Amino acid sequence: MISYGRQTIEADDIEAVVKVLASGMLTQGPVVEEFERKLAAYTGAKYAVVCANGTAALHLACKAAGLGPGDKVLTTPLTFLATANAALYVGAAPVFVDIDPDTLNIDFREAEKKVMADHAIKAMIPVHFAGSPFDVEEAARISRQKNLILIEDACHALGASWTDSAGEVRKVGSSSHSDMTVFSFHPVKSITTGEGGAITTNSRRLHERLTALRAHGVIKDPARLFNPEGLPWYYEMQDLGFNYRLTDMQSALGVSQLNKLDKFIARRKEISSLYGRLLSKYPFIKTPVAAHGCESAWHLYPVRIDFNEVGASKKEFFELMKSIGINLQVHYIPVHLQPYYRALGFKPGDFPAAESFYSEEVSLPIYPLLADEEAGAVVEALLSTLACASVKPRKALAI
C-alpha cells in the first residue's frame, strides 16, 4: 500500500533516541535545548520553543499572545482542524476568510476587508498550505494596520522559503514579519519526532511566556518572581499553563531529523517535478505550482481533478485507487463544514472557493522514500482509473 505521506527513519535516528534512553535523562534534559537551538538556527529566528505537538504549539501561541474571550481570530477554512480549534481553546472565536483558488492560501484581499470592518479581530493565523508559502509581507502589512498578532501556521512548511521585497531569502519560521511561527513534527510532516511541535519567535517576551506556559505557567528564574523570597526550592505559578513538554527522546530524534531536512525537501521537490511532468498534458488535472520567489516544502501534492469533465465520481475514483493499493487523501474537508463548526453558525456556501477545491482535490503520495517508479505507478493508476471511469457506466465501475 502506498499512502499519501510517511516518515523516513534511518539507523542513525534510532541510535540518537537510544543514546538518550541510556543517558538517564528522558525528559527536560539537555537535548530539548539542543533541538531548540538548532531549530532557531535553521529557521533564522532568535528563539524556538518545542512542545508536545503542533496543536499544543498553536494553543500556546494563542495563549502567549493574550487572546481570549471576546477576541476573534482570522484564519482559513482550508486547514487542519487544529488551526481554528486553537482560537476556541482560549475562548476566542474563529473567523474564516475564503482561499485564493490560485495560491490555495488565504485570500488576503478578503482578509483585509474583514480585518478593517471588524474591530474584534485581534489575530490572524494564515496557513502555508501544502508547504507553499503565503505572502508573508502582505499578511504583515494587513496585521500592522490594526495591530494584530500574526501567527504563521507552518505545520506544512518547515524547510520552505520565500523572498522578501528587498530580495532577501527567508526561511519559513524566521518569523521576520510575524510574531510567531508554528510547526508540527507529526510523522507525515517535513521531519518527525513521533508527536511534536514548535514555535519560533524573535520576541524575548513571547519566548518567556511560551516556555512558562509549556510547563504549567511555572517560573523559577529569581529575576522574574513576583515574590523573590530567596528560598532555594521556591517557584511560582504566575499563569495557567499546561504540560506540553517535548521529551529528550523526541528531541534527539528531532535533532537527527533536522540534519536531513534539506535532503528530504530536495527529494520531495524531485517527486513534485516528476508528477508535474507526467500530469501536465491532461487538461482535466490541475497540478500545484510554488509561488514566484518561493521554495515549497512540498508537504502535499494536491491535484484538482475535474470530475464532471471526466464523468466520474470522486468517491468511486478514491475507492478504486485504494483497491489497487494507493491510499490517497483529501486535504481538507473545509473546517466550517464540520458539525461542531456548523453548530457555531457556519454553513455550506459560506466559503465557495474552499468548498469547490474540496470537491475536486486529492493528495497524491509524496514523501522522501517514494521511488520514481512508485510515483510513475501512481500516475498510471490515476489515469487508467479516470479513463475507465469516463467511458464506462457508473455501475460497471462499482464492481
Ligand X SMILES: *Cc1c(COP(=O)(O)O)cnc(C)c1O
Q: Does 155 bind ligand X (CB under 6 A)?
A: yes
Q: Does 156 bind ligand X (CB under 6 A)?
A: yes
Cβ-closest residue to ligand X? 54
Region binding ligand X by CB under 6 A among candidate stretches 25-33, 153-161, 166-174, 378-386: 153-161
Cross-strand pairs, 219: 236
Q: Does 127 bind ligand X (CB under 6 A)?
A: yes
Q: Does 94 bind ligand X (CB under 6 A)?
A: no
Nearer to ligand X, 294 or 379 (CB): 294
Q: Does 247 bind ligand X (CB under 6 A)?
A: no
User: For residue 48, which amino acid is it?
Assistant: A
Cell of 310: 471526466
Task: Report helix, strand or coil for 129.
Answer: helix
The answer to whether the peptide bond before residue 244 is cis (omega within 30 degrees of 0) is no
Q: Which residue has the cell 484581499?
A: 109
Q: Does 184 bind ligand X (CB under 6 A)?
A: yes
Given 4, 42, 80, 358, the residue binding ligand X (CB under 6 A) = 80
The Cα–Cα gap between 23 and 353 comes to: 52
Q: Identify which of 304, 279, 297 has the alpha carbon closest to the alpha carbon of residue 363.
A: 304
Looking at residue 245, what DSSP letter applies?
P
Judged on CB neighbours under 10 Å (0-12, 13-18, 19+), 190 is buried
To ligand X, the closest distance from the beta carbon of 298 in angstroms equals 14
Nearer to ligand X, 82 or 249 (CB): 82
Number of residues that bind ligand X (CB under 6 A): 14
Bridging pattern class, strands 149-153 and 121-125: parallel
To ligand X, the closest distance from the beta carbon of 118 in angstroms equals 23
Q: Does 78 bind ligand X (CB under 6 A)?
A: no
Region binding ligand X by CB under 6 A among candidate stretches 150-158, 248-256, 314-322, 351-359: 150-158
Given 67, 74, 78, 82, the residue binding ligand X (CB under 6 A) = 82
Nearer to ligand X, 83 or 143 (CB): 83
The Cα–Cα gap between 64 and 205 comes to: 9
The Cα–Cα gap between 180 and 246 comes to: 18
Region binding ligand X by CB under 6 A among candidate stretches 48-56, 286-294, 317-325, 373-381: 48-56
Q: Does 214 bind ligand X (CB under 6 A)?
A: no
To ligand X, the closest distance from the beta carbon of 260 in angstroms equals 19
Beta-carbon contacts of 306 under 8 Å, excluding residues fewer than 6 positions away, are 284, 285, 286, 360
Q: Identify which of 260, 226, 382, 214 has the alpha carbon closest to the alpha carbon of residue 310.
A: 382
Hey, what long-range contacts does 264-267 have (CB within 8 A, 24 or more apart)?
264/8, 264/159, 264/190, 264/191, 264/368, 265/159, 265/160, 265/190, 265/295, 265/297, 265/298, 267/368
Q: Does 153 bind ligand X (CB under 6 A)?
A: yes
Using CB under 6 A as the binding rule, the residues of this chain from 49 to 68 that contact ligand X are 53-55
Q: Does 125 bind ligand X (CB under 6 A)?
A: no
Nearer to ligand X, 53 or 385 (CB): 53
To ligand X, the closest distance from the beta carbon of 308 in angstroms equals 29
Cell of 324: 489497487
At 349, which helix (H) or strand (E)?
none
Given 75, 76, 79, 200, the residue binding ligand X (CB under 6 A) = 79
To ligand X, the closest distance from the beta carbon of 44 in angstroms equals 21
Binding residues for ligand X (CB under 6 A): 53-55, 79-80, 82-83, 127, 153, 155-156, 184, 186, 197
